[in-house]
């Protein structure tokens, strides 16, 4: 009985486990047909191993290097940040909207306020100074009350007093601006996150 | 890292290349241009096309080094890309015969000599040399008759000396399939080359 071709191939390649190798070698020594097959494989493997490796043209390396991006890869933080960077014009537009949206109503409100005849740089400065002083006084009051009534109730009472010190018009304007800017900004961020930003390509 | 003093591993070179070192890229090219070009050339059997595909392989690999998984061998990755490109191209066109001339880009006799397909022999005897040359050409032709999958597997196994497991990784097929490819390829080669002395 002869050995299978696969076993003879494995024997010729030297890939049989030790025990099988010994048994197969013993068989081949006494079997002319199997010995001939193994010799044939040895000759084939030797001929294949002799095949030369071809060289590409002399300018091959330079051509590859010319098409290779040699810029250093950014560090881990930059790589992490890069995944959030928009890759499309639409993505950049969304990012710009997210950043600019909260600023626009504030700038608009300032522009509107500056058109008022009684509002001059000097009066604005005086108003701002007065507000600052009032806020500082309120903060002091809050601190004193907090110290006196240690606990959440004291802090809330102090905060309420501080809020009362701010003119109601200013609070209304601030609330309006935030009511417009915050939803607009959230909308822009949501659109930004949902927009596909990567042109995914694969190396293989 | 000084490449001139330390025999860097492929993984070291990749790390260095990712910092923008042209020297590291060139070292990787030196290591793999012949194996990759030989594999692709024997697959597509057209020197000009093989040059294009080998170049495409290196450009893809070098421009996507950040996607290299260090768990695997670099050689597996580059051979995988090269063989995929070659097989894709083979599906689109019929292969030509092997050209034994040097590169058309070679401008000096030395360059022609360096790039031509020659079947070398260590023997001084002209008759033996001619026999070896004829045998080499017959083997090249016999390999050219194999199915692309068999060709890839047999070249990786016997010319590049890759392990069965790595060939399975390169070809993206199970180990058993690789064994079948190689077994059948050998059987076909033996049959095609039966008229030569190789069988004796």
What pLDDT is recorded for position A24?
92
- Top pLDDT among A142 and B158 is at B158
What is the count of structural domains for chain B? 2
Q: Return the pLDDT at B93.
A: 67
**If you average pLDDT over each of A33-37, A50-54, A165-169, which comes out highest?**
A33-37
Angle at A46 between CA A41 and CA A47, to 5 degrees: 100
Q: Are residues B67 and B129 in the same domain?
A: no
For residue A49, pLDDT over 80 is answered with: yes
Question: From the list A54, A64, A70, which residue is nearest B58 (CB)?
Answer: A64
Position B152 confidence tier, pLDDT thresholds 50, 70, 90: very high
For residue B199, pLDDT over 50 is answered with: no
* Residue to substitute from B29, B53, B68, interface A, most A β-carbons within 10 A: B29
Q: How confident is the model at residue A196 (pLDDT cuts 50, 70, 90)?
A: low
Q: What is the pTM of this model?
A: 0.59
- pLDDT, mean over chain A: 80
- Domain C-terminal end among B73, B101, B117: B117
Name the minimum distance, in Å, from the CA of A100 to any CA of chain B. 34
pLDDT band at A189 (very low <50, low <70, confident <90, very high): confident
Assign 3-class secondary structure to chain A: CCCCHHHHHHHHHCCCCHHHHHHHHHHHHHCHHHHHHHHHHHHHHHHHHCCCCCCCCCCHHHHHHHCCCCCCCCCHHHHHHHCCCCCCHHHHHHHHHHHHHHHHHHHHHHHHHHCCCCCCHHHHHHHHHHHHHHHHHHHHHHHHHHHHCCCHHHHHHHHHHHHHHCCHHHHHHHHHHHHHHHHHHHHHHHHHHHCCCCCCCCCC
Q: Which of B118, B103, B92, B111 lies closest to B50 in space, CA to CA?
A: B103
| Closest-CA distance of chain B to residue A203, Å | 6
The domains of chain A are located at 5-49, 86-194
Q: Are A6 and B160 in contact (CB under 8 A)?
A: no
pLDDT tens track for B11-55: 999 988 888 888 999 999 999 999 999 999 999 888 899 999 999
Q: How far is A42 from chain B (nearest CA, A)?
A: 9
Of the candidates B49, B82, B117, which is a domain's last residue?
B117
Closest approach of A156 to chain B, Cα-based (Å): 54
CA distances from B104 to A30, A53, B30, B32, B182 (A): 54, 18, 21, 21, 34
B110 and B144 co-located in one domain = no
Across A72-81, A94-103, A194-203, B185-194, least confident range = A194-203
What pLDDT score was predicted for residue A105?
A: 77
The tokens of B106 are what? 């070679």
Contact B80 A44 (CB under 8 A): no
| Domain at B144, CATH number | 1.10.10.10
Domain boundary (B71, B93, B117) is at B117
More confident: B179 or A143? B179
Among chain B residues, the shortest Cα distance to A8 is held by B183
- Neighboring chain A residues of B69 at a CB cutoff of 8 Å: none
Burial bucket for residue A83 (CB in 10 Å: 0-12, 13-18, 19+): exposed
Q: Is the pLDDT of residue B96 over 60?
A: no
The string of DSSP codes covering B55-66 is HHHHHHHHHTGG
- Mean pLDDT to the nearest integer, B55-61: 95
Containing structural domain, residue B69: 1-117
Q: What is the CATH number of the domain that holds B6?
A: 1.10.1740.10
Interface contact flag, B106 A203, Cβ < 8 Å:
no
Q: Which of A47, A60, A204 sits opposite B55 (nearest CB)?
A: A60
Task: Flag whether pLDDT at A50 surpasses 80.
Answer: yes
Output the pLDDT for position B123. Answer: 47
Give yes or no: residues B93 and B131 share one domain. Answer: no
* Contact assignment for B63 to A56 by CB distance below 8 Å: no
Mutate to test the interface with A, among B14, B15, B59 (most CBs of A within 10 A): B59
Q: Which long-range contacts link B31-35 to residues 24+ away (Cβ below 8 Å)?
A: B32/B58, B32/B75, B32/B78, B33/A55, B33/A56, B33/A60, B33/A61, B33/B58, B34/A53, B34/A54, B34/A55, B34/A56, B35/A53, B35/B75, B35/B79, B35/B160
Position A202 scores a pLDDT of 41
Amino acid B4: pLDDT: 53
| Confidence at residue B35, expressed as pLDDT on a 0 to 100 scale | 94
- A68/B186 CB distance under 8 A: no
Q: Are residues B134 and B183 in the same domain?
A: yes
What pLDDT is recorded for position A148? Answer: 66
Instruction: For residues B71 and B60, give the distance between their C-alpha atoms in angstroms, rounded to a whole number.
Output: 19
| Banded pLDDT at B111 (limits 50, 70, 90) | low
CA distance A3 to B70: 41
CA B33 to CA B119: how far, in whole Å?
A: 19
Do B111 and B191 lie in one domain? The reply is: no
User: Is the predicted pLDDT of residue B88 greater than 80, yes or no?
Assistant: yes
Query: Does A204 sit within 8 Å of B77, measured CB to CB?
Result: yes
- Tell me what pLDDT residue B168 has: 95
Residue of A nearest to B80 (CA): A204
For B103, name the nearest residue in chain A, comparing CA atoms only: A57
Which whole number is the average pLDDT over A47-76?
85
Pair (B107, B18) in one structural domain: yes
Contact check, Cβ <8 Å, A48/B67: no
What's the confidence (pLDDT) of residue B183? 94
Query: pLDDT above 90 covers what percent of chain A?
Result: 19
Looking at the complex, report in whole angstroms how far the Cα of residue A34 sits from the nearest Cα belonging to chain B: 13
Q: How far apart are CA B41 and CA B83, in angstroms?
A: 10
With cut-offs at 50, 70 and 90, classify the pLDDT of residue A200. Answer: very low
């Amino acid at each position: 009985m002869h050995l299978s071709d696969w076993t003879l191939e494995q024997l010729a390649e030297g890939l049989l486990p030790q025990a099988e190798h010994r048994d197969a070698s013993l068989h081949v020594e006494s079997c002319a047909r199997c010995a001939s097959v193994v010799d044939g494989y040895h000759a084939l493997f030797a001929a294949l191993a002799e095949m030369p490796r071809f060289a590409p043209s002399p300018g091959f390396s330079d051509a590859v290097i010319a098409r290779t991006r040699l810029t250093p890869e950014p560090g881990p933080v930059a790589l992490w940040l890069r995944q959030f960077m928009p890759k499309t014009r639409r993505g950049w537009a969304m990012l710009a909207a997210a950043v600019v949206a909260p600023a626009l109503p504030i700038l608009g409100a300032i522009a509107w306020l500056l058109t008022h005849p009684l509002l001059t740089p000097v009066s604005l400065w005086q108003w701002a100074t007065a507000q600052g002083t009032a806020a500082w006084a309120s903060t002091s009051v809050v601190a004193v009350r907090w110290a006196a009534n240690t606990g959440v109730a004291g802090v809330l009472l102090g905060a309420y007093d501080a809020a009362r010190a701010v003119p109601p018009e200013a609070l209304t304007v601030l609330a309006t601006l935030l009511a417009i800017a915050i939803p607009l900004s959230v909308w822009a961020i949501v659109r930004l996150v949902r927009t596909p930003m990567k042109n995914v390509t694969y190396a293989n | 890292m000084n490449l001139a003093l330390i025999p860097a591993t492929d993984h070291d070179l990749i790390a260095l290349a990712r910092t923008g070192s042209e020297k590291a890229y060139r070292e990787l090219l030196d290591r793999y241009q012949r194996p990759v070009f030989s594999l692709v050339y024997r697959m597509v059997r057209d020197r000009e096309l093989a040059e294009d595909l080998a170049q495409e392989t290196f450009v893809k690999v070098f421009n996507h080094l950040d996607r290299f998984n260090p768990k695997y061998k670099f050689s597996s990755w580059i051979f995988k890309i090269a063989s995929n490109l070659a097989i894709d191209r083979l599906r689109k066109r019929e292969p030509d015969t092997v050209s034994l001339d040097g590169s058309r880009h070679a401008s000096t006799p030395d360059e022609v000599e360096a790039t031509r397909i020659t079947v070398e022999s260590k023997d001084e005897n002209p008759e033996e040399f001619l026999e070896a040359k004829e045998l080499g050409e017959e083997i090249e032709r016999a390999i050219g008759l194999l199915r692309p999958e068999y060709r890839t597997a047999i070249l990786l196994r016997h010319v590049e000396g890759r392990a069965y497991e790595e060939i399975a990784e390169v070809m993206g097929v199970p180990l058993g399939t690789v064994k079948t490819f190689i077994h059948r390829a050998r059987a076909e080669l033996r049959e095609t080359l039966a008229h030569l002395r190789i069988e004796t």
